[in-house]
Amino acid sequence: MTIRAGLYARISLDWEGKGLGVERQLHDCRAIAKRLGWSVIDAYIDNSIGASKYSKTGKHRAEYNRLLGDIEAGRLDAVVIWMEDRLQRQVIELAEFLKVCDAAGVTRIASAGGELNLGDPDQRTMLYIKAAMAEAEIEKMSARMRRKNRENAESGRRHLGGRRPFGEAWHGNQAVSDEQAAEERELIREAVRRLIAGDSLRGIVTDWEMRGVRSQFGNLWRNVNLRRCLLSPRLVGMREYNGQLIPGDWQPIISMEEWQAVKAILEDPARFKHERGGLPRYLLSGMVHCGICGAKLYPRKIRGKRVYYCSPVAPKGGCGKISRQAEPLERLIEGAIFHAVESDRFQRMASQGEDDPTNELYEQLARDQGLLDRLQDKIAQELISETTAKRNRSEIERRMEDTRREISRRRGGEVVAHIPRNLRDVWPDLSLDRRRAIVKAVLVKVTLLPQPNSARTFHPEKVVAEWRDRPVPERESV
């Protein structure tokens, strides 16, 4: 009678990513099957898959599960493994494996240590003993690894396990070139600069998707992934252990001041309260309120025109009695902000007096930011190529970085949030995210009061704006 055998090979971590470890196991398993005169039906390979209870990958041993399925289906009479711990490292899972074999009538297992008859109680007990010893050794290894990781953390050495962080060349089968890692680090710096300047995570992610920027795993970026990346202390050469930051033995990607600014932005509770939903398409989305019921007005299109509308079918239910065309309302608020920014009182309150040597630098920074925001529009309109845009982006960002360093030098190491006096000039070139960030920096909310003659004529005096602690022009209700 021909014995139909399945070969099973497994290795917990394939550092090189070439599968050489499992191939060596299969080579020995074929030799074992040949020596015993068994016919090999199939080979089952779990490469870089753990089998201990601590393994994050062990729950997904796809080939092991396929092996069990073929045993249950009666395709196999025996199993060949290199060593017993390749098959199981947990007593409870060994019991489940033996239960499947018993039900299918499979009584033979062979390894480099010899053949086991599962029908023999003594040999069966020996298999349990080996599994228990493997499980105990894993416990000891885990304790040693925890101690080693604690020592590494307390000494500031990086943790080399897990998946490759974005911006690092790494090692093993996850390694990338130094050039790619350098490009990723520059993307991190770009995201940090844009976030501090007023962009949102979703704005950056949307832009990166259009540019074909992928994560270290080859996937499109998502808000949550980018947020996690930017909040990581590794960006400033630190690692966290037991809630404490410990200086690491690697070079930071950004400065501590930049990282703290990003943390302040991303961990602001107001972001979770006000920034949910899709990408805003209107300048004042979420900031316009009904003067009758107090509900937020929702942007929508009515007869082809953009309006802010107190919707009775909104989640919190408005009265439905207030609406206003978006364009004149937005122009009114923009004009008020321009007028305020250009006033001497605004500059004094912003600690940017006429004699401040950084005024001109901040205005140059704003002009460059507008150029940067407009690049993607030029690509979409086929005015410039991707290659030219990439070169221009690099030049603009390098010039902006030089400007920031000069501002920092002149202000004693501090780069403050600033709204430039030339805001009116650079406004058309800024992205919607950037414009919204500036508006939200000076505006709390806009309340629309009922106006006569329905909504055919726009009445500025029926617009009441609540401003933050910055000066606003003394005109009308706005």
pLDDT value of position 243: 64
Structure tokens at 188: 């991190």
pLDDT at 276 > cutoff 80: no
DSSP code of 296?
B
CA 220 to chain centre: 9
Distance CA 23, CA 439 (A): 62
User: How many Cα atoms within 13 Å fall on the side-chain side of residue 60?
Assistant: 5
Q: DSSP characters for 48-60?
A: T---STT-SSGGG
pLDDT at 5 > cutoff 90: yes
Instruction: Please state whether 176 falls in left (phi above 0), alpha (psi between -120 and 50) or beta.
Output: beta
Place of tokens 């770009």: 190
Higher pLDDT residue, 85 or 241? 85
Distance CA 129, CA 124 (A): 9
Q: DSSP characters for 134-187?
A: HHHHHHHHHHHHHHHHHHHHHHTPPP--SSPPTT---SGGG---HHHHHHHHHH
User: What value does the mean pLDDT take over residues 250-256?
Assistant: 88
328-353 pLDDT, tens digit per residue, is 999 999 998 888 877 766 655 554 44
pLDDT value of position 321: 87
User: What value does the mean pLDDT take over residues 111-129?
Assistant: 84
Task: Give the Å distances, CA to CA, from 341 to 57, 72, 335, 420.
Answer: 56, 76, 10, 7
Q: Are 52 and 135 in contact (CB under 8 A)?
A: yes
Rounded to the nearest 10 degrees, the angle between the axes of helix 178-197 and helix 256-266 is 60
pTM: 0.44
pLDDT value of position 447: 93
Distance CA 375, CA 354 (A): 32
pLDDT value of position 273: 44
Q: Are 41 and 8 in contact (CB under 8 A)?
A: no
CA 409 to chain centre: 32
User: How many Cα atoms within 13 Å fall on the side-chain side of residue 252?
Assistant: 15
What are the helix and strand counts (H, E) for the chain? 16, 13
pLDDT at 274 > cutoff 50: no
Residues 6+ apart with CB under 8 A from 237: 247, 248, 250, 251, 252
Task: Give the Å distances, CA to CA, from 390 to 380, 396, 397.
Answer: 14, 10, 11
Structure tokens at 385: 């190529």
Instruction: Name the amino acid, one letter, at 362.
Output: Y
Higher pLDDT residue, 99 or 359? 99
Q: Which ranges of 342-470 does DSSP label H, i.e. alpha helix?
A: 344-349, 359-380, 386-410, 423-426, 432-442
* pLDDT bracket for residue 133 (50, 70, 90): confident
Higher pLDDT residue, 374 or 74? 74
User: What value does the mean pLDDT take over residues 124-131?
Assistant: 83
149-182 pLDDT, tens digit per residue, is 666 656 656 665 667 889 888 777 778 898 999 9
pLDDT at 120 > cutoff 80: yes
Architecture of domain 4-139: 3-Layer(aba) Sandwich (3.40)
pLDDT at 55 > cutoff 70: no
Structure tokens at 30: 């074929």
pLDDT value of position 412: 53
Distance CA 23, CA 17 (A): 12
* pLDDT bracket for residue 409 (50, 70, 90): low
Identify the weakest region by mean pLDDT among 290-299, 398-407, 459-468.
398-407
Q: Are 476 and 336 in contact (CB under 8 A)?
A: no
CA-nearest of 444, 439, 435, 440 to 465 is 444
| % of the chain surpassing 70 pLDDT | 75
Higher pLDDT residue, 244 or 227? 227
pLDDT at 474 > cutoff 70: no
CATH class of the structural domain 177-274:
alpha beta
Higher pLDDT residue, 160 or 113? 113
pLDDT value of position 407: 67
Residues in the chain: 478
CA-nearest of 257, 300, 108, 270 to 200 is 270
Residue-range domain boundaries for the chain: 4-139, 177-274, 280-350+421-478, 353-418
pLDDT value of position 158: 65
- Provide Rg for the chain, Cα atoms: 32
Bridge partners, 179 (sequence order): none
Q: What is the mean pLDDT of the chain?
A: 78
CA-nearest of 80, 68, 78 to 119 is 78
Distance CA 229, CA 190 (A): 13
User: What value does the mean pLDDT take over residues 262-275?
Assistant: 65
Rounded to the nearest 10 degrees, the angle between the axes of helix 178-197 and helix 223-231 is 100
CA 250 to chain centre: 22
